[in-house]
Every structure is written in C-alpha cells, then in structure tokens.
Amino acid sequence: MNYCKEKLRTEEILELFQSGCKTDTKLGLEYERIPVSNKDYRSVSYYGEWGICELLADFARIDNWDYILDDLNIIGLKKLHNTITIEPGCQFEISLEPKKYIKEIKSEINRINKELKPLLKQYEIELLNYGVTPVSTYRYIPLNPKRRYRVMANYLGGILSDVMMRETAGIQVCIDYKNEDDAVRKFNLANKMSPFMTAAFANSKIRGGVDTGYQSFRALAWLNTDNERCGFGTKFQKENLFKSYIDFLMEVPVIFIQRGENLIEVNGKINFKQFMDNGYEGLYPTIDDFKLHANLAFPDIRLNSFIEIRNHDSVPEEYIYSALAVYKGIMYDTSALESAEELLERFDYEEISEFRYRVPREGLKTRLGHYKVRDIAKELIEIAYYSLKEKFDKEEEYLQPIKELIRQGLTPGDLTTPLIEVHTR
C-alpha cells in the first residue's frame, strides 16, 4: 500500500482554481449525442460486431485518432486537444479545445461529422441530437466497460440515477474567468440563468417510446440522481467563491479512490474532508485525488479552472451554437453581464432553487412569481444578441435559431419530438 508522505493542504487545492484565471477568454464545448439504430431508434450497445467499440476502432484508423483505454478496452479517442469519449450508456461525446470564435467550433464539429458520416451509414447508426434515449430504457442499455461507471452505478442511489447515467445526453458550455471576482459574478449568474436556459433548450420529451409529459426528462433525471453532489455548488455569495466551492466539495462523499490501475471503492463511507484529515485504509489524498473527486460532483454549474455550464439537453446543431452565443454574449461583455445581473437580481437563491424543480415538466410555461419563464429567457437572449452584434464579429447570427423559437414560445423539443414520434410508433 502506498502512503502519501505529506498531507494534501487546502492551499494546494485553492491554487487549482487560482490557476484558472486567464487574460484571454475562450469558449469550450462538450457535445453528447445518443447512438441509435437508424431503423428503429433503439440504443446501440458498446458490444458486438456493429457496436460502438468497433465504430471507435474503425474511426481511429480512418481519421488517425489515438485510443483512450481503460483496462485494455477502448473507451474513447484523442487527437491533439480534442477527444471523443463515451458516457456510461455509450452516449457519444465530443470535447473540443477551447476557441475564441464560435465559427471555429462549428468548423471543427463539421469536420468531425463529415469524417464520421460514411462510417455511421455503414454501421446503420444515427447519432441523435436528443436529451434522452427515445426508445430503449436503462434496463436494456448495458454499461460500457469503463470501470468507474460500474462503481458509480452501484453507488448512486437517486431514483433516476440509472436514467441519468445510461439514457441522458446534454451539451456543456465552458467559459473562462479573469480573476476570482470575475468568477463570482459569472458563476452566480450562470446558476441563476440555468433553469431559464434549461427551459429554453428543452429537448427530451419522448422516453421509452411514449410522451412523458415533461419538456426535459433529462433535467428531471438529474434532479433525482444524488442530492449531495448535484444541484447548486454554492449559494449566491458575492465573495470567496473558490473557498466556498472547495467547502462544498469537502462535504461530498467519496465514491472511489484510484491508485494506478486500481480502483478502491469507498462508496460514500467518508467525505473528502475526512479523507484529508484521517485518510482511508492507510491512504491519504493527493491533488489528483481531489481532481477526480471534483469531477464526480455534478452541480448544474461546476467550477474548475474554468466554469462548466452543464444544464442543457442535447439539441440539433444550430441550437448548440445558439447556446454558445448566449453565454459568450452575456459573460464576455461587461455591460451585458450587468444587464443580465439586473434582470435576475429580483430572484433569490431559495426562489431559483425551488423553481428549477418545476422547469422539467413545464418548460417555458413555468411561472416564477409574477414572471413568465419565456419572457425572462427572451430578455436574456436579447441581451446576448445586442452584445454580440455590437461587440463581436457578427456572431449574433448564431442566436437567430433560438431567438426565433423563443419568440414563438417554442423549444427545440417542439420541432424534434414529432420526428422522434415517427420512429417510435
């Protein structure tokens, strides 16, 4: 058994977040899709001759990607700073190197999709831009062989945690912060915006071949996964964000510890603070243990060396660029940031916390006191639109798709659901 010579100090953890401060701000994207049979929309397994493992291996050869392995199993691909990985139920995730302009992200997505297209046709697979598997439910979706997913599946006790792991797909926007004060403002605002944006980008109504009655079943699944590691990472305090977020992570139970190739199951017997203070079976945490632990916490907005905004359903591509545009327009322009803060300052932590539980079912029709969610979402998008038009290089065009939908009181799900229904009858 390996022992750590020096105990991990909170100051070392704090440096992780301080090192994220940047003078040049970029956008990052993580984009998940659901692999389904193009005949009946049933989920495609990792295993078998025409499964996701073989697809990844073939694509690596065609486009010169390197394997990402776990216990000799292919669980992803890497090329320079881009990765293609698979989530527990084989949701197909593209993670891109951060870019300054949305057009650069779009160009890279288009390039990867162009290379994938003939292979997907050969495998009779469609990568579905939808927030939940429309036909197959988790009982019929085997976990891929990444070892941590088995441990997580056994540990997570929420009533919809299996749905979250095996069925859901989302998009994640990553934004930079310049200093801790900047991080506080962006983190708080992103948390306040999150239920409004969940409603605006709702796209997961059909599950198990039926209309669930929810605008975003994906959002419902996340609300019922693990109360100790989901939800909001902190309250909306105006200072000391890094310390407050670390305090949140200290109280989150540890699922497992990794030492080399070995996973040591902890299963929530201790939280991370107890791990730091007392160790676990002779082991004491390293900074890598903290990084792993932080990535196994799933708040709507996650703090890293950047800010991860994680609360959107997977949507058709034009709306992915709309999501990027919303956050770029608001977060990277001081006057737009102030306008959005002013718009949402009327809502406190308790109101937003309660309101997010109603959004999955009601979507844009949800009311928050005297206010309609559709109207607030529309104002946020307008703020981003004029910011992009005035301060950035014509990037307001990427907001047009979601701007037009919101004007009509619609979401991406209102367009995609009829198409899904055709394949699930």
Structural element, H or E, at residue 371: strand 371-372
Give me 173's structure tokens: 């926007």
pLDDT classification of 1: cutoffs 50, 70, 90: very low
The whole-number pLDDT of residue 425 equals 72
Over its C-alpha atoms, the chain yields an Rg (Å, rounded) of 21
Structural element, H or E, at residue 339: helix 334-344
User: In this model, does residue 250 exceed pLDDT 50?
Assistant: yes
Looking at domain 22-249+301-424, which of 3.50.50.60, 3.40.630.10, 1.10.150.120, 3.30.590.20 is its CATH number? Answer: 3.30.590.20
Question: How far, rounded to the nearest angstrom, does the alpha carbon of residue 319 sit from its chain's CA centroid?
Answer: 15
User: In this model, does residue 271 exceed pLDDT 80?
Assistant: yes
Specify the residue for token string 């307008």. 382
The whole-number pLDDT of residue 5 equals 54
Average pLDDT over residues 416-420: 90
Q: pTM for the complete prediction?
A: 0.96
Largest Cα–Cα distance in the chain? 62
CA distance 359 to 246: 28
pLDDT classification of 423: cutoffs 50, 70, 90: confident
CA distance 84 to 275: 32
User: In this model, does residue 2 exceed pLDDT 60?
Assistant: no
CA distance 186 to 190: 6
The whole-number pLDDT of residue 231 equals 92
Strand partners for 73: 70
Mean pLDDT estimate for the chain: 96
Strand partners for 94: 31, 84
Average pLDDT over residues 166-172: 98
Q: What is the pLDDT of residues 203-231, one digit of tens each?
A: 999 999 999 999 999 999 999 999 999 99
The whole-number pLDDT of residue 422 equals 83
Strands (E) located in 21-179 = 27-37, 66-70, 73-79, 82-86, 92-99, 125-128, 170-175
String of DSSP letters for 286-316: -HHHHHHHHHT-EESEEESSSEEEEEEE---
User: In this model, does residue 386 exceed pLDDT 50?
Assistant: yes
